[in-house]
Amino acid sequence: MKNKTGKYFKYAIGEIFLVVIGILIALSINNWNENRQNRKVLTIYTNQLIEEVEINVAQLNNIVKNETKLVKHLDTVVSLLNKQDYDNIKLKNKSYALLTFEDFNPETIAYDNLKSSGEFKLIENIELRNAISGAYNTFEDVKLTQEVHYYNMKTRVADYFLENADYGNFQHTSTDFAKDRVFKNLTLGSVATFNQKIEACKNSLESLKELKTKLEYFSNNEL
């Protein structure tokens, strides 16, 4: 009886051991499959974010380029005003810059989907997560400066031009155009808001370029 009991005990221990091994193997396979699926999801999001960053970088570069030109036009206007050279043809020709600006409309679909899906937590690299959030948050500064400029343009500047300019033929504009303090203040204010937006765009560009480098490293080394 003792020998039989010992054999049964050894057999039971063996069965338990096999069951435990089977469970561990199943868990290992399940974890492997889950990790593989997570890597596939992260690969998709990483590639989408890189493409999205490139789109936003191109748009911001274009804004900086075009609005820098507008500032140069307005600098010429300010210079002419300081000289009281009101009859200079450049004064009217370059004043159109007061009614112009580049609209910033960032692409954020991939970032929004990553956040709303709850899969942002799959990125275990905290530095990368902070870089993603930080870069996209810079868009708020750009849009804020843009809103200020647009508000001034569509109200104060637009009102001035409606009262003093001839949209049909700008050269037939009133001879009093630009000769008052209001026009000069509007011009100086526009230069200031343009420069604020340009600076915000440059800061955003720097963050986006750093983010792209981190995303490419993540894609090549951690996925």
For residue 8, the surrounding DSSP H or E stretch is helix 2-82
pTM for this entry: 0.84
Residue type, 149: H
Q: Are 146 and 103 in contact, with CB atoms under 8 Å apart?
A: yes
pLDDT, average across residues 55-79 = 97
Q: What is the pLDDT of residues 193-213, one digit of tens each?
A: 999 999 999 999 999 999 999
Q: Is 107 left (phi over 0), alpha (psi -120 to 50) or beta?
A: beta
- Is the sign of the CA dihedral 218, 109, 146, 137 positive or negative? negative
pLDDT band at 160 (very low <50, low <70, confident <90, very high): very high
**Over 90: is that where the pLDDT of 45 sits?**
yes
Sketch the domain layout of the chain as residue ranges. 38-221
